Amino acid sequence: MSTAVQDPARPAAPSSEPRAAAPAAERQRSWWHLPAGLTVLALAALLVFGLRAPVGRGTSFRIAAPGDLNPGGILPGDVALPAGGTAIVCAILCLLIAGVLWFFAATSRALGRRARIALIVVFGLLWITAFLAWAFSGSTVDLGSLLQTMMVLAVPLAFGSLSGVLSERAGVVNIAIEGQLLFGAFGAVLVGSLTGSVWLGLIAAPIMALVIGALLALFAIGYQVQQIIVGVVLNVFAIGITSFFYGTVMQQDPTRYNQPMRLPIISIPVLSDIPVIGRVLFEQNILVYLMWIIVAVLTVALFRTRWGLRVRSVGEHPRAADTVGIDVNRTRWSNVLLGSAVAGLGGATLTIGTGVAFGEEMSSGKGYIALAAMILGRYHPVGALLAALLFAFADALQLRLGTLPSGSGAGIPSQFLLMLPYIVTLFAVAGVVGRVRVPAADGEPYVKQ
């Protein structure tokens, strides 16, 4: 489904003894990708964010909002910084980090994995600060509410990409995430409205999404139809059928069939008052908490349990799994169904999670972004979550920037920020930041003799 990494002709490995690992002096051919990429980003930050920022304009960063837990006012409310200066400083620090990575890569010196990741994270934070200083110049960045928006937008993406992880780890390509989200959103509102209970709506969402999952499994596993085609067609089907019922049944009697309702916010006392991150982490509806739980459970389950080992073996080498008595197609079926149920929860976020009624094609491509998040997250639940957060952050920024008072801000067209996830994914699948290892049997039907 993405960059295939199998090496066609495995190099000559003299069979008498294991091939000696490549000596440290022989670098991977792609060793320069990461430092070069970061350098380009840092330079862009310097040239665009730093030097093109309007002179003399400042950017305020709102850290602690009134009412936050802020004993004795330790944290400042708003921090006002010069836009250009902040961006330049951050960009230069970014360049330094890139330089450090160049050094280690070029001299083939081992840099601990943790240190590397830490450096990249710091780079990311600095870069974003530079960007914010520029983009919001002359205005205020309310970090708390920005992150809050991000979280709301990230939840459907995260659930969707977890659906992808579940089914693709077992070797079934899941392009139908969009349809699963849509069915989940539709089912949540429909059942919620009919029964008057938002909780029943919450239960209905995954069940509804199971329909798409079951169809995907039936055609992809049962009838071995090309999986990409099934996915694309199922998305068309899902959009068609939900729009059809939206246009008929729901429109005829919205109060009965399409009532906006919202899951209650569960606020954890004290913790939710922590500045910036409090509301984001501890004042959310159940779906957000469920997302954290599912990511954690899935990570453990995939990599630490018997079930996970079997699922991965089915996705990597189904025949080998079969020869040790694992029922390949049953595993695939159950994973696709499980995945679609998870995506259904993501769909529920779109309606009962945010308190809006169902609308035609309301998933609006989120399924495809979720797919991208799954790939960028390298088929790992945590990676998928991080990628979903990143994409949601871009979306949240776009929304925030759209509401800036005229005359402030850098005037970035919202469309560019909307494009961002797709461009990032394009770079990711092109292997600019390391190759994505796809489950070897992803997309291949398994046929027993």
Partner 1 sequence: MKLELRGITKVFGTFVANDSIDLVVEPGEIHSLLGENGAGKSTLMNVLYGLYQPDGGQILLDDRPVQFSGPGDAMRAGIGMVHQHFMLVPPFTVAENVVLGHEPTKGGLLDLATARRTVREISARFGFDLDPDAIVEELPVGAQQRVEIIKALSRRAEILVLDEPTAVLTPQETDELMAIMRQLRDEGTSIVFITHKLREVKAVADRITVIRRGRVVGSADPSADQTELASLMVGRQVALTLDKAPAEPGDTALQVRGLTVTDEAGVTTLDGVDLDVRRGEVLGIAGVQGNGQTELTEALLGLQKNVRGSILLGGEEIVGRSTRQVLDAGVGFVPEDRTHDALVPDFSVAENLVLDQHRRPPFGSGLSLKLKAIHERAKEAVREYDVRTGSVDSAVSTLSGGNQQKIVMARALGRDLSLFIASQPTRGVDVGSIEFLHRRIIAERDKGTPVIIVSTELDEITQLSDRIAVMYRGSILGIVPGDEDRDVLGLMMAGYTVEAAREAVAGGARTTDTQLVDEGEIV
Partner 2 sequence: MSQAIEGSARPVAPGTANEPTPPASEENARREDAATLLQRIARGNVLVVVLAFVFAFLIGSILILVASAEVRAAAGYLFARPADTFRAAWDAITGAYAAMFRGSVFDLQGFTRVREDLESRGGSGSYVWGPALLRGFKPLLETLTVATPLIIASIGMAVSFRSGLFNIGGTGQLIVGAVAAGFVGFAVSLPPVIHVLVCIAAAIIAGGLYGGLAGFLKARFGASEVITTIMLNWIAVYGLAYALTTSAFTGANKAQPTSPSVGENAVLPLIAGSQNRLHLGLLIAVLAAVFLWWLMSRSAMGFRFRAVGSNPRAAEVAGIDVGRSAIGVMFAAGALVGLAGGVHILGTEHRLTGNVAGSIGFDAITVALLGRSGPLGIVLAGILFAGLSTGGRFMESNQSVPLDLVQVIQALVVLFIAAPPLVRYLVGLRSVDRPGAPRARGRRAASPAAAAPAPSGSSAAPASSSAPEPRSAGTDTKGGTA
State both tokens at 320: 């080998």
| CB 252, min distance to partner 2, A | 6
For residue 351, state whether it binds partner 2 (rule: CB under 8 A): no
Residue with tokens 């920005």: 146
Task: Identify residue 204 by its one-letter amino acid code.
Answer: A
SS3 call for 58:
strand
Q: Which does 219 bind (CB under 5 to 8 A by kind): partner 2, partner 1, none?
A: partner 2
Contact 126, 93 (CB under 8 A): yes
Enumerate binding residues for partner 1 (CB under 8 A).
7, 9-19, 22, 26-29, 300, 304-306, 308-310, 312-313, 316-317, 319-327, 437, 440, 448-449
The residue (of 272 and 329) whose beta carbon lies closer to partner 1 is 329
- Residues that contact partner 2, how many (by CB under 8 A): 65
Alpha-carbon distance 180 to 206, whole Å?
9
Q: Which does 323 bind (CB under 5 to 8 A by kind): partner 1, partner 2, none?
A: partner 1
CA dihedral 9, 10, 11, 17 (to 10 degrees): -150
- For partner 2, the binding residues in 129-188 under the rule CB under 8 A are 173, 175
Angle, alpha carbons 190-194-196 (nearest 5°): 110
For residue 243, state whether it binds partner 2 (rule: CB under 8 A): yes
State both tokens at 82: 């010069």
For residue 205, state whether it binds partner 2 (rule: CB under 8 A): no
Instruction: Give the one residue of 228, 286, 301, 326 binding partner 2; rule: CB under 8 A.
Output: 228
**Which residues are CB-neighbours of 48 under 8 A, at least 6 positions away?**
134
The CA R_g of the chain, rounded to the nearest whole Å, is 24
Contact 142, 202 (CB under 8 A): no
| CB 88, min distance to partner 2, A | 28
Stretch that binds partner 2, among 108-116, 292-300, 332-340, 415-423 (CB under 8 A): 415-423
Contact 400, 347 (CB under 8 A): no
Phi-psi region of 409 (alpha: psi -120 to 50; beta: other; left: phi over 0): left
| CB 194, min distance to partner 2, A | 14
For residue 371, state whether it binds partner 2 (rule: CB under 8 A): yes
Alpha-carbon distance 416 to 2, whole Å?
24
| CB 336, min distance to partner 2, A | 15
Stretch that binds partner 2, among 4-12, 44-52, 76-84, 98-106 (CB under 8 A): 4-12
Which residues here bind partner 2, judged by CB under 8 A?
Answer: 1-8, 173, 175, 215, 218-219, 222-226, 228-230, 232-234, 236-237, 239-241, 243-245, 247-249, 252, 319, 329, 365, 368, 371-372, 375, 413, 415-416, 418-419, 422-423, 425-426, 429-432, 438, 440, 442-445, 447-449
